[in-house]
Amino acid sequence: MTPTAYMTAGSPYAQQTLAEPSVGKSRKGTICCGCSLLIFVLSSIIAFLSAAVIGLAAGTGIEASRANDVANQLAVLNSSIATSGPTKTTTVTAAATATSWNDLDNGCSDNPTSITGTTYTSFSLLGGLKFTMYCNKDAPGTPYMSLFVANMNTCMDACAAYSKYIPTFFGNNKNTTCAGVSFIPLWTNKANATAGGAPGNCYLKPAPQNATALEDPNIGTECHAAILAGNS
Ligand SMILES: *[C@@H]1O[C@H](CO)[C@@H](O)[C@H](O)[C@H]1NC(C)=O
Ligand SMILES: *[C@@H]1O[C@H](CO)[C@@H](O)[C@H](O)[C@H]1NC(C)=O
Ligand SMILES: *[C@@H]1O[C@H](CO)[C@@H](O)[C@H](O)[C@H]1NC(C)=O
Ligand SMILES: *[C@@H]1O[C@H](CO)[C@@H](O)[C@H](O)[C@H]1NC(C)=O
């Protein structure tokens, strides 16, 4: 992989909007209008699941597969309503709850100066390595690997996993230690990654890394870095 693999962002920086999760209820005749208790109960469940589907669909990875499961349950319930009586009076709308970049990058998008310099401890079973975060920075070096991860924290977990497992195959050397990451929130969405020619939203970077050597991102969208704490 060459560094140019993620040098192109298709479109200029555009923050995703965070829609308030206002669950609009326009339910005609909640329990009257000949609506049986069964249908009312099923309708309520569908309303809840609809909101869940839309919310989960905004996420990635595990959340997306959960959204799929919920969507399947919803389809089953929906068909049971369709066949359980002639009085179908339910109109359910639910607003989407989109995931903002700020939710993905620990606050780097909205509060870069207060997040820069804070540390994250990677998952305990991956060594509990500490990473210092630097918002709006790019860790230099040709990536070992590009990945799609759920958020910046799981990107740092992936870096810790690399350093935990790669030496078991290739021994301990300069190339088997991940010293930092670059995380690009826009590319968490695979459509956006495709548009930007990016094979991931998380790039594992080689040693050495240090705070002063971090680069200013030049990829047309936000990029946040983290490096192993202890590396000055
Ligand atoms: C529920 O079923 C109706 C038809 O009975 C269909 O028009 C609608 O799209 C379905 N909704 C979902 C969420 O599956
Ligand atoms: C580390 O990777 C570089 C680039 O692929 C290679 O030139 C170098 O020989 C590797 N070093 C070790 C110790 O494997
Ligand atoms: C990212 O993807 C979303 C959904 O596919 C799209 O609406 C949005 O315009 C994209 N943003 C950029 C900056 O390409
Ligand atoms: C930081 O890293 C750069 C390049 O890897 C190196 O030239 C520089 O000496 C390092 N600075 C410190 C303070 O370690």
Q: By three-state DSSP, how is residue 179 classified?
A: strand
Cα–Cα distance, 188 to 126 (Å, whole number):
22
Question: Nearest ligand, CA of residue 83?
Answer: 1
**Residue ranges of the alpha helices (H) in 116-183?**
152-170
Centre of ligand 2 to C-alpha 173, Å, is: 9
Model confidence pLDDT, tens digit, residues 47-76? 666 665 555 555 555 555 555 566 666 666
CB 212 within 8 A of CB 164: no
pTM greater than 0.75 (yes/no): no
Model confidence pLDDT, tens digit, residues 174-222? 899 999 999 999 999 999 999 999 999 999 999 999 999 999 999 999 9
Q: Is the CB of 74 under 6 A from ligand 1?
A: yes
Sign of CA dihedral 71, 73, 77, 82: positive
Supply the pLDDT for residue 135. Answer: 98
Question: Nearest ligand, CA of residue 222?
Answer: 3
